[in-house]
Structure 1
Amino acid sequence: MADWNPENYLRHADERSRPFADLLARVPGSPRTIIDLGCGPGHLTRLLRHRWPGAEVVGVDSSPAMIDRARRDDPDGTYQLADLRGFEPPAPLDLVLSNATLQWVPEHRTLLPRLTSMVAPGGSFAFSVPGNHDAPSHTILREVAAREPYRDLTTSVARPSAFDPEQYLDDLAHPGWSVDAWETTYLHVLQGEDPVFTWIAATGARPVLDALPAPLRDDFTTDLQEALRAAYPARPYGTPLAFRRVFAVATRV
């Protein structure tokens, strides 16, 4: 999969920021050491320093383009290029956080014990993942990608996946841990031409688009935009997009 495009990702920065703010609101205490796994372009990592002034905050991402953008836009921050699957902090942390990242990690539930092991006593592991992979935006993407002549080129692309709050609760609710797991469906009102395509092209549809050569990518884009316009008709005030998110905050008590 090609590297992330920070410009495309930030087109809907306001809408993408809402779940992050809701996640932070449920984190207890005042953490002093924080790691943001999958920090992207760093626009949300900065919020951690605003929420907890004086905390030591490090943003980690595996995308060179995202880390470069974070360092450019937030020169006062600390950002590290690393894959969360192999990342090890030098010492236990008060808050291990990951927002809209784990869904890209195959079998990410098997990583949860290692991520919680990074948490210091009294600290928390908090994350959110999209829970909308059965929404029309994603079912249509899969349906169009399965058509000829796209099918052979898109069969093995990376596809995000996530689970329900109850499953994460089962994973995290061990002795010595207090777990808060929930879901929220946001109703975003998007503006502009083909806004649902613009939204998913920066995230969920990106691996499919990257897998197609230029001529086929243009045809695929046209087919996908047409199908998405039918599923998400524009209204006078914009285009509504229902987006389900799943959250969990596990605190080491």
Structure 2
Amino acid sequence: MSWSATQYSLFEQQRTRPVRDLVAAIPLTSTRTAVDLGCGPGNSTEVLAERFPEATVTGLDSSDDMLRDARQRLPDIAFERAVLANASLQWVPDHASLYPRLVSLLNPGGVLAVQTPDNLEEPAHRLAREIAASAQWADRIGDVKHPDRHPAAYYFELLRAHCAEVDVWRTTYHHPLAGGHGAVVEWFKGSALRPYLQKLDEAGQQAFLGAYLQAISQAYPAQDDGTVLLPFPRLFIVATR
């Protein structure tokens, strides 16, 4: 199951809010170059370009489908295909080496700004792991594992030796999803569920999503009008070299 710009963009307003908070925390210096690692369909790149209109902005992503949408959205910005930071570095392992390496590429005074979901222990992730490990699914997707994530203190200690300043914080957003529990499933189909779904055929995907929907319906209470309030914690890092 490849990345889908259409699926990802179903919740663009909600997914863009964290990057606005992240970019707003970057100091307004004379930035000449800005790179969006894992630019997706260009929503985060657009925010970056608005914040630093004088900078040369480049978007990088591993998905051709995402890059197609990004180029249509922002035809004056260069988008390139690369394996690879708004809600992207959680897919990359070995942060102990990765983050200092990214900082080392900055000019003095340059800023590494990262936002990653911090929700591996939220019901949406925990239930997916439990279903995958059950007897029905264990032989096919029981070994699926997301790369490790770490608490704020880990990144602060990791980067403070390489940076003049490190700012780390955690925010939990509560996204109202008018589509009810089905909307929660659609949200995670575009991100967290991909490693499971890509190992299943179409029939397996539908069966897995059915079991997931049933579990999600028990874990997240709906409001009187059917809206589900989805808690979504995210970790932010702004590190200045």
TM-score, with structure 1 as normaliser: 0.90
Cα distance change, pair 236–76 in 1 and its aligned pair in 2 (3 A): farther
List runs of 5+ in structure 1 lacking aligned partners: 85-97
Cα distance change, pair 56–175 in 1 and its aligned pair in 2 (3 A): closer
List runs of 5+ in structure 2 lacking aligned partners: none
**Does structure 1 retain, via aligned residues, the 8 Å contact 2:64–2:81?**
yes
> Displacement, 1:64?
1.5
**Does structure 2 retain, via aligned residues, the 8 Å contact 1:157–1:211?**
no
Deviations 1:167-192, CA, capped at 9 Å, x for gaps: 10011101652100110111111111
CA distance in 1, matches of 2:214, 2:15: 24
The residue number in structure 2 matching 1:57 is 57
Deviations 1:23-48, CA, capped at 9 Å, x for gaps: 11111123221011111111220111
Which one of 116, 120, 123 corresponds to residue 129 of structure 1?
116
The residue number in structure 2 matching 1:87 is none
CA distance in 2, matches of 1:53, 1:122: 18
Alignment of 1:160-179 (within 5 A): 160-174=147-161, 176-179=163-166
CA distance in 2, matches of 1:152, 1:76: 47
Q: Which structure features the higher share of strand residues?
A: 1
Which one of 191, 194, 213 corresponds to residue 178 of structure 2?
191
The residue number in structure 1 matching 2:201 is 213
Q: Say if 2:46 is the partner of 1:42.
A: no
**Does structure 1 retain, via aligned residues, the 8 Å contact 2:103–2:162?**
no
CA distance in 1, matches of 2:36, 2:44: 9
Q: How many residues align?
A: 238
Paired amino acid for 2:218 = A
Q: What's the secondary structure of 1:212's corresponding residue?
A: coil
Which one of 214, 226, 231 corresponds to residue 242 of structure 1?
231
Alignment of 1:70-149 (within 5 A): 70-84=70-84, 98-149=85-136
Q: What's the secondary structure of 1:126's corresponding residue?
A: strand
> Displacement, 1:130?
0.6
Q: What's the secondary structure of 2:109's corresponding residue?
A: strand
Q: Say if 2:212 is the partner of 1:224.
A: yes
Cα distance change, pair 159–24 in 1 and its aligned pair in 2 (3 A): same
CA distance in 2, matches of 1:222, 1:168: 37
The residue number in structure 2 matching 1:180 is 167
Q: What's the secondary structure of 1:79's corresponding residue?
A: strand
- The CA RMSD over aligned residues, in Å, is 1.4
CA distance in 1, matches of 2:55, 2:137: 48
CA distance in 1, matches of 2:74, 2:163: 37
The residue number in structure 2 matching 1:3 is 2
CA distance in 2, matches of 1:214, 1:151: 17
Comparing 42-51 with 220-229, which one deviates more in the overlay?
42-51
Deviations 1:120-153, CA, capped at 9 Å, x for gaps: 1111111011111100111001011112322111
> Displacement, 1:164?
1.0
TM-score, with structure 2 as normaliser: 0.94
Paired amino acid for 1:191 = A
Comparing 45-54 with 238-247, which one deviates more in the overlay?
45-54
Cα distance change, pair 176–47 in 1 and its aligned pair in 2 (3 A): closer
